[in-house]
Chain A
Amino acid sequence: MPTRTASPGFGLGLRTDHYHQVLAGPQRIDWFEILSENYMVPGGKPLAMLDRIRQDYPMVMHGVSMSIGTPQGPGEEYLRDLKKLMQRVQPLWISDHLCWTGVHGKNMHDLLPLPYTEETVKLVAANIRRVQDSLERPLVLENVSSYVSFNSDSMPEWEFVAAVAEESDSLILLDVNNIYVSSFNHGFDPNDYLNGIPVQRVQQIHLAGHSNHGTHIVDTHDHPIVDPVWDLYAAALRRFGQVAGMIERDDNIPPLPDLVAELDIARSIAHKVQQEAASPREAYA
């Protein structure tokens, strides 16, 4: 089992809208998660800002186009570019998504769902092992939101996530918003999901907002986090311990202080859970 990196605390996704403020002075943010592809460019301002902000904050690299779940697997060229960025950033860890993004050289630029079958577990695990050998470090993979299930599915999603992690000896980025979204869309109990995930493999937790359309929920990352997702976050911390958490906001991006305030909610929940653990309720009154 790969050793988990100690939690650096509470992070935010680094977004261009906030560069100026992040550089203007210290923020109540422990670390930043960068979208790897945004910095896989030749040079200029994106990389200059990255280097300057990296001087003040630890970073985690989070990719969206590794496409770990196809028979072809991630291309050598992509891994070479990723390694180059990794050498520049010296991230705490590197993550991507447990999904596929395209086949036959095409890219749908979306986190597409995988069938939850033994065949897919073996396929994805083989790809992860190859990437881990290439990067010479464990890969951290995130559960995605989904809107469809396949007739061929032979296990629930949490069993699939756990089986892939065990078989490939990789780590998990648990997105509790994605668990909530998928539990709504597919009608399962999100607590069953949490209970199916191996405790020692969770490296990070993602928090985000979504759009509820009544009949289904779409994972849009353009709203504040809702209470049921905060509740699920607390449940996740009770099971997995004080895992590094961060807020992903990709659209309708508010001013930085609003996100820092949202991050304070995560801090206070984590603090409460920690206090609960330190002084368990009396079993007998």
Chain B
Amino acid sequence: MSTPVPAAATQAIQDKFQQYVLGTDAVQPAILADIREQFGLPATERLAIYYNAYRIRIRDALAEAYGNTHGYLGDDMFYQLCLDYIDAHPSQLRNLRWYGAQFPAFLAARLAEHPVVAELAAFEWTLSLAFDAADQPVLTLDDLRPLTAEQWQYLGFDCQPSLHFLQMQWNTVAIWQALNAGREPPAAEREALATPWLIWRKDLQSHFRSMAGEEHAALQGLKAGQSFAEVCALAAGRSPASAPQIAGWLQTWLTDEMLSRVRLEGAP
């Protein structure tokens, strides 16, 4: 919202100051003419405190969000990648919490010959998304007991907002686990087939586990809005042997706090 107060001089200083901090104007900064020379420290060095603080503050926020990616790459490489990311992505966010959202994609492009790094970063970011995802009621087995046989025909579920799927092509989780425990990580290994991983929040902590293909398809179907009956029919069509397992999976999803409420769309 614009203010009716004239502010041209303040605006001009802020424009020049920001250009300097962002580094688009660092060699001969226009703001320098506005800075008073004072005893003790030249104006250029006074300004540099702001230039450096911007980069260090955001770098530290990235290091916090990507602690194990940082550990995997080491200080020099991680900090250089942070600086390049900061230059490529001036923050447009009020809250630093979300600033690292594009870092995995940035790493995928910058370290294309080492895709495991971007996968590791994507895993860390998704863990953080699960950690502070929106709160929803937790659906329990008891909530399903009153449902009639007819309602089961229409039954669908809302999944918890913290529930995410990730396809991992590398032994990324083993690397993350080693780094997280302070151990030497195993060598990066590409797997023949990508493994689906599930990330969600339980008891206020982020959890993760791999899933077999059929369970993955079933839970993804539920999350996409398919009814439980549709999910069962599709699973039976793909693999008749897996159909009897679905009731067990549902029980696991409920006890692991992955579902939030029942939907009975179309039920009479």
Instruction: Point out residues on A near B: beta carbons under 8 Å.
Output: 37-38, 40-48, 65, 69-73, 75-76, 78, 100, 102-110, 112, 114-115, 117, 119-120, 122-123, 126-127, 130, 147-153, 185-187, 215-216, 218
5 A-B interface contacts by CB (under 8 A)? A43-B134, A103-B15, A107-B93, A123-B3, A123-B7
Task: List chain A residues, Cβ under 8 A from B2.
Answer: 71-72
Q: Are B1 and A76 in contact (CB under 8 A)?
A: yes
A149–chain B nearest beta-carbon distance, Å: 4
Contact of A115 among B1, B10, B46 (CB under 8 A): B10
A-B pairs, top 7 by smallest CB distance, nearest first, are: A43-B135, A42-B134, A44-B132, A41-B132, A71-B7, A45-B204, A149-B36
Nearest CB to that of B91 among chain A residues? A107
Q: Are A109 and B39 in contact (CB under 8 A)?
A: no
Contact of B13 among A75, A106, A115, A218 (CB under 8 A): A115
A107 to B18, CA, bound (A): 9
Nearest CB to that of B58 among chain A residues? A109
A248 to B2, CA, bound (A): 33
B47 in contact (CB, < 8 A):
yes
Q: A106-B92, A150-B36, A216-B49 are in contact. Are A100 and B1 (CB under 8 A)?
A: no
B177 in contact (CB, < 8 A):
no
B146 in contact (CB, < 8 A):
no
A40 to B43, CA, bound (A): 36
Task: List chain B residues, Cβ under 8 A from A110.
Answer: 21, 50, 53-54, 57
Q: A44-B133, A44-B201, A45-B204 are in contact. Are A65 and B94 (CB under 8 A)?
A: yes
B53–chain A nearest beta-carbon distance, Å: 6
Q: Which residues from 166 to 211 on chain B have a C-beta closer than 8 Å to any C-beta of chain A?
A: 201, 204-205
A218 to B8, CA, bound (A): 30
B241 in contact (CB, < 8 A):
no
The size of the chain B interface, using a CB distance under 8 A, is 55
Q: Which residues from 1 to 46 on chain B have a C-beta closer than 8 Å to any C-beta of chain A?
A: 1-11, 13-15, 17-18, 21-22, 33-36, 38-41, 43, 46
B91–chain A nearest beta-carbon distance, Å: 5
Contact of A71 among B3, B38, B39, B50 (CB under 8 A): B3
A115–chain B nearest beta-carbon distance, Å: 6
Q: Are B91 and A186 in contact (CB under 8 A)?
A: no
Q: A102-B18, A108-B21 are in contact. Are A40 and B132 (CB under 8 A)?
A: no
Q: Are A73 and B18 in contact (CB under 8 A)?
A: no
Task: List chain A residues, Cβ under 8 A from B6.
Answer: 119
Task: List chain B residues, Cβ under 8 A from A150.
Answer: 13, 34-36
A190–chain B nearest beta-carbon distance, Å: 16
Q: Are A109 and B7 in contact (CB under 8 A)?
A: no
A267 to B97, CA, bound (A): 34
A215 to B7, CA, bound (A): 33
Task: List chain B residues, Cβ under 8 A from A47.
Answer: 132, 135
A110 to B22, CA, bound (A): 12
B96 in contact (CB, < 8 A):
yes
Q: Are A115 and B9 in contact (CB under 8 A)?
A: yes
B90 in contact (CB, < 8 A):
yes
Q: A45-B204, A114-B10, A123-B10 are in contact. Are A151 and B5 (CB under 8 A)?
A: no
A104 to B57, CA, bound (A): 20
Q: Are A43 and B9 in contact (CB under 8 A)?
A: no
B66–chain A nearest beta-carbon distance, Å: 17
Task: List chain B residues, Cβ under 8 A from A104.
Answer: 15, 18
B196–chain A nearest beta-carbon distance, Å: 23
Q: Are A107 and B94 in contact (CB under 8 A)?
A: yes
A115 to B36, CA, bound (A): 11
Q: Are A71 and B36 in contact (CB under 8 A)?
A: no
Q: Are A44 and B135 in contact (CB under 8 A)?
A: yes
Contact of B40 among A38, A130, A215 (CB under 8 A): A215
Nearest CB to that of B8 among chain A residues? A119
A177 to B15, CA, bound (A): 29
Nearest CB to that of A46 among chain B residues? B132
Contact of B41 among A46, A78, A126, A215 (CB under 8 A): A215
A109 to B43, CA, bound (A): 22
As a 0/1 sequence over residues 119 to 137 of chain B, the CB contacts with chain A under 8 angstroms (1 = contact) are: 0000000000011111100
